[in-house]
Homo-oligomer: A and B are copies of this chain.
Amino acid sequence: MNKSGSKLEIAPLQSLIDEGFWHKLTNLKLNHWGLDDSPVSLTGFFAPCSHPKLSNQLTLLSESLPSESSELPSSTSSSHTNRNKCPVPGTLYNLNTMESFNDVDEQQLLKEEAEKIWADIHNGNIETDCARLLRFVVISFADLKKWEFYYRVAFPTLVLHPPATLVDLKPASEWFTVEEAKFVSTACNEWRNSTSTTGVPFFLVTIDSESRATLRDLSEWESCRLENHKILFGFYDPCHSPKHPGWPLCNLLAFLHSRWSLETVNFFCYRESRGFADMKLSLVGEAQISSQDGTDKNHLPQDFGWDLYKRQKKTRSINLATSMDPTRLAESAADLNLKLMRWRALPSLDIALLSSTKCLLIGAGTLGCQVARTLMAWGVRNITLLDNGKVAISNPLRQSLYTLTDCGQDKAVAAANSLKSIYPSVDAKGVVMSIPMPGHPVSIQEEKKIIDDCRQLQDLVNSHDVVFLLTDTRESRWLPTLLCATANKITINAALGFESFLVMRHGYGPLGSSVEAPDVLSSNLGNLSIGDKDGAQRLGCYFCNDVVAPVDSTANRTLDQQCTVTRPGVAPIASALAVELLVGILHHPLGMYAPAEIAGSNGSGSSETPLGILPHQIRGSISQFTQMTLIGHASNSCTACSKIVVSEFEKNGMDFIMKAINHPTYLEDLTGLTELQKSANLFEPDWDYEDELEDDELVEI
């Protein structure tokens, strides 16, 4: 209990930070601030105490931070203000490392903040915006990888020397007459209920000789004092204690003493009960101030005020990972690496473009699994995998989306499910189908199914932005290549040898009519001499540029050839390069129309993007540890992407496809090439095995 003449003791504020604050801080940090750690304006909220459990709290909510769109601080007089949220200004120092968080010179920081208050006192700002007396500071470090937030909160306080003396402190109901108390209550309730004053935490209470009370702005003090009324300095008191005034009194006394040289102050700790002024809970007291230096505006009082947590000045931390929705948490975490890339290494990274790009992966084997994983890591969120196989027991060791429990399942489906186990909100689909292949004649009965397959594949190609060719045969790449050339889709091809690989992007399609050039293209085409659209300078496709030994057919392949036996290091490298090539295309201003660049050829007029060069073909050998880039132009007699083939397909559609499938020499005849060889009919083995051998089956001899 403060006795008369004792030192004034005040209950400190404590911070209560809502999780929403940290979520928004995370978004701002990742999307806007990056490495910028300049101070950020905050708005804290408090209110007169109305419940013992909510005593002495300053609350930070998501709206305490600047809005994401404008990056402007939320206005302290925003519509968020209401009787339970009196706004006070604060400053956030969010630091980039744990070390700098820990190394903050707290005294210096507090001094700077106290100086702001001191300046506001002396330049008259407090009279117009008294909440500035309650300025606060937050320093924090957000470990966004672990969703762990470290922070300290301080309330800079202007300390009087010698300390103020408390002459009297009692419940307002005892200090006021019954009449006065009634009038004060009414006046306070009006003040609190008016939108123009509910957010103003300091005020004058004047009581005239007829016990009528009025609440006014602090700025009216000069005129009030002439009226010879009783004057009290009121403030919203967040403290519940009947023995102690709350925190706002500290700086109020410093203000009154420094600005107006008051030495005796009657103060009114305004508190509420159930939303109404409560004169029994509210306190009135008298403080005596006898500071020598208080009025010297060039002399800043000592500052003071770190949020004392359990009586020790300690860093507090909160981990939000456990409270978040797992899917949302995964999404945030997934984007983390990408957003971090933009901070420093790759500011031009277009995360939105990547996440909206639809990728069709033809083949869900060793290459398909690894390509899908790398696409996900780059932020691609729409992935369709196409495969007709089932997961075999030998697959999981090399095909990184499968475990043994997937064996026997359709690969395409198992792969899509596996992607979801890594990132639940990925839009991953599995399509189980075979790719019709040229030179593999089919019977009349099968023809309808083949045509259906062709149509389904065409629909898939048309509904995606990018097609990856990741199968293990040459013929299975033909139809997708043709469909991509026709629909003018970005096409990335990866093919493996035993210890070598080829990764390439196909050129754009041969038909000017179907080319939808991006806007930027029209202005750049001239400069870059992409050439005429008949393909003279078009980049080639896999069938134009056959640089790995072609595997002509699935027929007559021994087991080591069927399994596409390769050194295990080859596929991860080819897959990684295939995805990096795509990311390069997507970030190039000319996209798929970008000319090919060669490694080490800078200065040759290449328009190198922040991602690096954009080659046409990359060939690598794992036995020689070499890698090289090559350019191959489109061939006018290519069986898959030449104008004559694409035109014929556009004209005759499925008829053309069936001719190519059924007549091994058709494409050859059409283009004049002997590119695709005949292949034997696929043998259909008798799957039926029974142990029971029947007796008495007789043959004549």
A residues near B, CB below 8 A?
A: 7-12, 14, 16, 35, 52, 55-57, 96-102, 142-147, 150, 157, 159-160, 163-164, 240-241, 244, 250, 304, 308-311, 314-319, 321, 326, 329-330, 332-334, 336-337, 340-341, 343-346, 370, 373-374, 376-378, 392-398, 400, 403-405, 418, 421-424, 498-499, 555-560, 562-563, 565, 567-570, 572-573, 575-577, 579-580, 583, 599-600, 611-613, 615, 618, 620-627, 629, 680, 683, 685-689, 691, 693-701
Residues of chain B contacted by A144 (CB below 8 angstroms): 559
Give the chain B neighbours of A565 by CB distance below 8 A: 337, 340-341, 344-345
A35 near B558 (CB under 8 angstroms)?
yes
Instruction: Please tell me if the beta carbons of B12 and A143 are within 8 angstroms of each other in the complex.
Output: no
Residues of B within 8 A of A160 (CB): 701
Chain B residues lying within 8 Å of A698, measured Cβ to Cβ, are 9-12, 244
A35 touches B572 (CB 8 A): no
Complex Cα spacing A315 to B686, Å = 6
Least distance between A466 CB and chain B CB atoms (Å): 16
Nearest-CB residue, chain B, relative to A250: B701
A421 and B405 within 8 A (CB)? yes
Which B residues are CB-close (under 8 A) to A680? Answer: 99
Which of B100, B555, B629, B695 lies in contact with A55, CB distance below 8 A? Answer: B695
CB neighbours (8 Å) of A8 from chain B are 701
List the B side residues contacting A16 at CB < 8 Å.
Answer: 691, 693
Q: What are 21 sample pairs from A and B whose C-beta atoms fall under 8 A apart?
A: A10-B698, A55-B695, A163-B700, A304-B701, A308-B699, A317-B688, A317-B689, A326-B404, A333-B397, A337-B394, A344-B558, A345-B498, A396-B421, A404-B424, A567-B580, A568-B579, A572-B573, A573-B573, A600-B626, A612-B622, A612-B625
- A318 and B621 CA atoms in complex are apart in Å by 39
User: Which of chain B's residues have a CB closer than 8 A to the CB of A341?
Assistant: 498, 560, 565, 567
Q: How far is the CA of A163 from the CA of B701 in the complex (A)?
A: 6
Q: Across the interface, which residues of B come within 8 angstroms of A694, CB to CB?
A: 310
Inside 8 A of A396's CB, which chain B residues have their CB? Answer: 421-423
A314 → B minimal CB distance (Å): 5
Query: Contact: A334 with B558, CB < 8 Å?
Result: no
A423 contacts B405, C-beta separation under 8 Å? no
14 additional contacts (CB under 8 A) given A310-B697, A333-B397: A57-B693, A99-B680, A244-B696, A250-B701, A308-B699, A316-B686, A317-B689, A330-B393, A334-B394, A343-B560, A346-B498, A370-B572, A374-B568, A573-B573
> Which chain B positions have C-beta within 8 A of A14?
693
Smallest distance from the beta carbon of A432 to chain B beta carbons, Å? 17
- A562 lies within 8 A of B145 (CB): yes
Chain B nearest CB, measured from A596 CB (Å)? 11
Tell me whether A612 and B623 are in contact (CB under 8 A): yes
User: When the two chains form their complex, are residues B693 and A345 in contact, meaning their CB atoms are under 8 A apart?
Assistant: no
Per CB-CB distance, the 5 closest pairs between chain A and chain B, nearest first, are A612-B623, A377-B568, A333-B394, A569-B576, A333-B393
Are B400's CB and A400's CB within 8 A?
Answer: yes
Q: A101, A568, A687 — which one has the most chain B CB atoms within 10 A of its CB? A: A568
Query: Could you tell me if B627 and A620 are in contact, using CB atoms closer than 8 angstroms?
Result: yes
